[in-house]
């Protein structure tokens, strides 16, 4: 393992002259350390890095990793014995330079009852360790935790502790998960760090630039680790890629877009998005929430003018506006910022609210410099780590709160009530 990591570090120096990430042209405050989460559990060679994700309205995908080949089988049920039902899935692995991943197991279980606590055990024979999760509500209200650019520092720990106390139903993440940045052991460490939360509530993610992990000439396939480890329910929404997909939960249509795959008007993603938006029935899902990574609106000096922000916005903003998308969450900029309803750079009462929430706690620190004067469309901006909670109360109202990590305490620093476009006749077409 040590030799492997030294080889990788040497390698990073070499590939650094190519491209892995963007260039940062601003000063960040000192980040907190990255604690490597050791593989300390005696049973962890059998199973570790458990996380779950929603599949359709009443199924759940259970994902975990073992060091050695074992059965991709999940035993589950509403009692702690977890033996009412079982399901079998698939196992995969990947190679990244000198690194060989463990056995990555994916099993979809269900149908499940809504808002119900289920217990589950993994493998065959089933593990002695029992996990549990709560299924999603079938109708409103629903509470989303929103956190971007998470990483795995002590700031990340603080954020996760705060999120865990929020009694959320589903976590949605607009990209940049582990900050492994080619060092594949850090994906394993990240999986162990988030397991206590991600094994109990569905985590739905999309990709950021730190998920690309492409090395010119040497490892040309992007998203190798991300796609293998964080499989999302893309087929169910007619998408052909794990990098963009959508799903309905309670009365919310959530769209996860890919900022680091093609998004021009002739791209598969664009055509899929157009079709997906046309299929939305606001009577069933009065809310539409979209996640991207590189923000389309930002008054922070970090990451200004990047291709993924400028060109994706130019390509897709009309689609979101015409579909009356309610909220767009982004990450990438390590700070918090909330815009008013906006379209084509101007306040527009029929445009989405754009919110940047790239402040999960990653090792790169905060983006502290803002463009002055503050644009009129920017309603609140602050460079601090934290997380957001979107509580969709009913078909017409949702409350958004931003919880700032203030000396390790979560402090509500921004709060606003949102009204859905489906309840707003003046914007209904
Ligand atoms: Fe990013």
DSSP string, 270-334: HHHHHHHHHH--TTT--EEEEE-SS-SS--BSTTTT-HHHHHHHHHHHHHHHHTT--EEEE-SSS
Cα(105) to centroid of ligand 1, in Å? 27
Residue 293: active-site member:
no
Bond before 111 cis per omega within 30 degrees: yes
- Output the tens digit of pLDDT for each of the chain's 429 residues: 444 554 454 554 444 333 343 333 334 445 666 666 666 555 555 799 999 999 999 999 999 999 999 999 999 999 999 999 999 999 999 999 999 999 999 999 999 999 999 999 999 999 999 999 999 999 999 999 999 999 999 999 999 999 999 999 999 999 999 999 999 999 999 999 999 999 999 999 999 999 999 999 999 999 999 999 999 999 999 999 999 999 999 999 999 999 999 999 999 999 999 999 999 999 999 999 999 999 999 999 999 999 999 999 999 999 999 999 999 999 999 999 999 999 999 999 999 999 999 999 998 999 999 999 999 999 999 999 999 999 999 999 999 999 998 767 889 999 999 999 999 989 985
- pLDDT at position 84 is 95
Distance (Å) from CA 280 to ligand 1 centroid: 29
Interval between CA 327 and ligand 1 midpoint (Å): 20
Question: What pLDDT does residue 86 have?
Answer: 98
Say how far apart CA 154 and CA 157 lie, in whole Å.
5
CA of 344 to the centre of ligand 1 (A): 23
- List the Cα angle 65/361/263 in 5-degree steps: 75
Whole-number Å distance, alpha carbon 85 to ligand 1 midpoint, is 40
CA of 212 to the centre of ligand 1 (A): 10
* Residue extents of the structural domains in the chain: 48-134, 142-427
Q: Which of 105, 210, 303, 403 is catalytic?
A: 303
Residue 191: exposed, middle, or buried by beta-carbon count in 10 A (0-12, 13-18, 19+)? buried
Domain 142-427 in CATH 3.40.640.10? The answer is no
Q: What are phi and psi of 385, to 5 degrees?
A: -70, 155
Task: Check if 48-134 and 142-427 are the same fold.
Answer: no
Domain 48-134 has CATH 2.60.40.380: yes
């Amino acid at each position: 393992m040590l030799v492997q990591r030294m080889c990788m570090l040497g390698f990073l120096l070499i590939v650094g002259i190519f491209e892995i990430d963007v260039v940062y042209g601003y000063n960040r405050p000192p980040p907190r350390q990255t604690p490597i989460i050791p593989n300390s559990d005696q049973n962890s060679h059998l199973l570790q890095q458990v996380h779950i994700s929603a599949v359709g309205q009443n199924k759940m995908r259970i994902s975990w990793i073992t060091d050695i080949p074992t059965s991709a089988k999940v035993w589950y049920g509403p009692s702690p014995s977890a033996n009412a039902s079982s399901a079998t899935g698939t196992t995969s692995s990947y190679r990244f330079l000198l690194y060989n991943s463990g056995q990555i197991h994916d099993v979809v279980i269900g149908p499940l009852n809504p808002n119900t606590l289920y217990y589950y055990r993994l493998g065959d024979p089933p593990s002695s360790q029992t996990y549990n999760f709560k299924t999603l509500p079938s109708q409103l209200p629903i509470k989303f935790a929103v956190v971007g650019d998470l990483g795995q520092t002590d700031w990340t720990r603080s954020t996760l502790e705060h999120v865990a106390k929020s009694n959320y139903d589903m976590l949605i993440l607009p990209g940049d998960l582990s900050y492994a940045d080619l060092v594949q052991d850090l994906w394993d460490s990240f999986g162990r760090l988030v397991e206590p939360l991600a094994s109990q509530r569905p985590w739905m993610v999309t990709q950021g630039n730190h998920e690309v992990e492409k090395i010119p000439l040497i490892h040309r396939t992007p998203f190798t680790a991300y796609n293998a480890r964080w499989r999302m329910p893309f087929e169910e929404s007619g998408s052909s890629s794990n990098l963009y997909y959508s799903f309905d939960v309670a009365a919310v249509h959530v769209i996860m877009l890919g900022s680091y795959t093609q998004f021009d008007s002739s791209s598969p993603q664009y055509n899929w998005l157009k079709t997906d938006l046309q299929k939305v029935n606001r009577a069933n899902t009065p809310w539409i929430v979209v996640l991207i990574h590189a923000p389309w609106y930002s008054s922070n000096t970090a990451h200004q003018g990047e291709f993924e922000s400028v060109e994706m916005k130019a390509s897709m903003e009309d689609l979101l506006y015409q579909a009356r998308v309610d909220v767009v969450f982004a990450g990438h900029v390590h700070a918090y910022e909330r815009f008013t309803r906006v379209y084509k750079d101007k306040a527009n009462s029929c445009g989405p609210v754009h919110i940047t929430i790239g402040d999960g706690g990653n090792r790169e620190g905060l983006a502290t410099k803002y463009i002055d004067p503050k644009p009129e469309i920017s309603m609140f901006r602050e460079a601090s780590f934290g997380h957001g909670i979107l509580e969709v109360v009913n078909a017409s109202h949702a409350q958004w709160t931003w919880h700032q990590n203030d000396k390790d305490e979560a402090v509500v620093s921004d709060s606003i009530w949102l009204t859905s476009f489906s309840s707003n006749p003046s914007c209904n077409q």
